[in-house]
Chain A
């Protein structure tokens, strides 16, 4: 066993998960995020690599916020249905992270594996101007990573990517197996 679990000196385990809400300035976050984007940019060669890196960082956040929110707001109960886990993200996760619900949640007309979370003015992109030569770059890849981790670690493996469409759209593509299972659950 990892020694840190037995040391028992850490006060963090004693702290309540339902703490009063604390706030920091959006400027603080914006400056930090900007440094992160620049740091990643210096270590990659292409826009898609940069987005992948930002998504990886987002996943770190997603996997950590998942348990906190499930315990805090869902009494420790995880979602088992696709639509419920998506609503959990649209409502609970968005409120906790960005202070408001996501603008829209839609399912693709032609594909039952694909869903969209649409955000007119995503917080992450508030202070970012995208250079012309990299116009596909979307720093909301970070948010996409958060969503991807939450879905994946809830038992709904998916790929989430960020696109410029009606503002910023996060495209969620579930694994085939997730949809098959969901339909099987419906039958009961």
Chain B
């Protein structure tokens, strides 16, 4: 069937520089439009969320990944399959919490920040915050409520870029009223 046909297709690729610069233009515009960095971060997260909600459909259709059985599997799929597919990079998964409900993605390179330098007057800006929104939105669509934030960022002088993900809860499918 058509689903079978899709399997394994990588999808079309494009030069990452146009993507990087386009994202830069967007962040620049947001910095002009909003009063402070905090608001820009929020807006980036919101746009990322909208992207994530749509991206998950694309992802599930393209990859033959089934349901993940635990958060560890989810982490692996995100790092090894999804990041590879959409950004062409493979972050490493580390720093698991003992309970297995929290981990970090370490990004060696981040296509969003090529060419980017943060000016001093935007020290509160989390430049790549879009990614947090994308992860949150995509996981929400597979019934996982997750908290995502940047713990470290090379743009802000840290040695690595680290995204911290924390599992909050499984979202129960609610049955609409009057629907059995």
Query: Which secondary structure characterizes the binding site on chain B?
Result: helix
Decide yes or no whether B119 CB sits under 8 A from chain A.
yes
Q: Which of A23-31, A109-117, A167-175 contacts B (4 or more CB under 8 A)?
A: A23-31
Among residues of B, the one whose C-beta sits closest to the C-beta of A27 is B58
Contact status B14-A39, CB under 8 Å: no
> A25 is contacted by which of B11, B54, B154 (Cβ under 8 Å)?
B11
The total of chain B residues at the interface (CB under 8 A) is 38
Interface mask (B82-98 → A, CB under 8 Å = 1, otherwise 0): 00011110000000000
Task: Assess whether B51 is in contact with A31, with CB atoms less than 8 Å apart.
Answer: yes
Which of B11, B14, B26, B157 gathers most chain A CB within 10 Å? B14
On whether A24 and B13 interact (CB within 8 A), knowing A29-B22, A32-B26, A60-B28, the answer reads yes
For residue B28, which residue of chain A has the nearest CB? A60
Q: Are B50 and A35 in contact (CB under 8 A)?
A: yes
| Binding stretch for chain A, among B71-79, B109-117, B162-170 | B109-117
Contact call A22/B111, Cβ cutoff below 8 A: yes
In whole angstroms, how far apart are the Cα atoms of A31 and B86 in the complex?
Answer: 11
**A25-B17 Cα distance, complex, nearest whole Å:** 12
Q: How far is the CA of A35 from the CA of B133 in the complex (A)?
A: 12
A32:B19 contact, CB within 8 angstroms: yes
Known contacts A26-B11, A36-B22; decide if A97 and B117 are in contact (CB<8 Å). Answer: no
- By beta carbon, the residue of chain A nearest B10 is A25
Smallest CB gap from A29: residue in B: B19
Q: Does A123 contact B (CB under 8 A)?
A: yes
A123 touches B14 (CB 8 A): yes
Q: Report the count of interface residues on A (CB-CB < 8 A).
A: 39
Complex CA gap A58/B17 in Å reads 13
Nearest-neighbour CB distance to chain A for B28, whole angstroms, equals: 6
Provide the bound-state CA to CA distance between A23 and B111, in Å.
9
B: residues with CB less than 8 A from A are: 10-19, 21-26, 28-29, 33, 47, 50-51, 54-55, 58, 85-88, 111, 115-117, 119-120, 130, 154, 157
Q: Which 5 A-B pairs have the closest CB atoms?
A: A60-B25, A26-B12, A23-B13, A61-B21, A31-B51
